[in-house]
Amino acid sequence: MDPDEWKKLSDENATVRILEGGKKIVAKEESFYDSEILKNITADWQKATRVLSNTLHRMKIKTGDVFLMWRMKHLINSGRIETMGNVDGGWKEFDVRKPGSQSENIQINDEVLNA
């Protein structure tokens, strides 16, 4: 690697770096993969590990599962993902969904429907 390029990367001290063709490495913000995670969150409850697995398989620029789960927890803390279960436990111990995706019971002519 070119010493000037190495100095630039060291000075940036970025959390995420990606290879942009050839030998060009660029720094990205920590939230770079957030949109990939959010694309795989649905309105229905699903296991966090399923979202993680789907994200890993569908993303074009790859990263690791630990980093994605760390970002998912940041999205949870910021209110962009709702959870059910123990987020502080293992990855298999909680479910996720889009915020405000509440299932409601609707009563129509003495029948209760789940919406």
Question: pTM of this prediction?
Answer: 0.78
Q: Pick the closest to residue 23 from 37, 41, 36, 4 (CA basis).
A: 4
Q: What is the DSSP string of 54-115?
A: HHHHH-SS---HHHHHHHHHHHHHTTSSEEEE-TTS-GGGEEEE-TT----EEEETTEEEE-
Encode pLDDT of 37-70 as tens digits. 999 999 999 999 999 999 999 999 999 999 999 9
Would you list the domain boundaries of the chain? Answer: 34-114
- For the record, the structure tokens of 43 come out as 């309105």
Task: Return d(Cα 31, Cα 98) in angstroms, integer.
Answer: 18
Longest dimension (CA), the chain: 75
User: What CATH code would you report for 34-114?
Assistant: 1.10.10
**For range 75-81, the mean pLDDT:** 96
Q: Which amino acid is at 74?
A: H
> In the predicted model, what is the mean pLDDT of the chain?
87
| Through-space distance between the first and last CA atoms of the chain, rounded to whole angstroms | 57
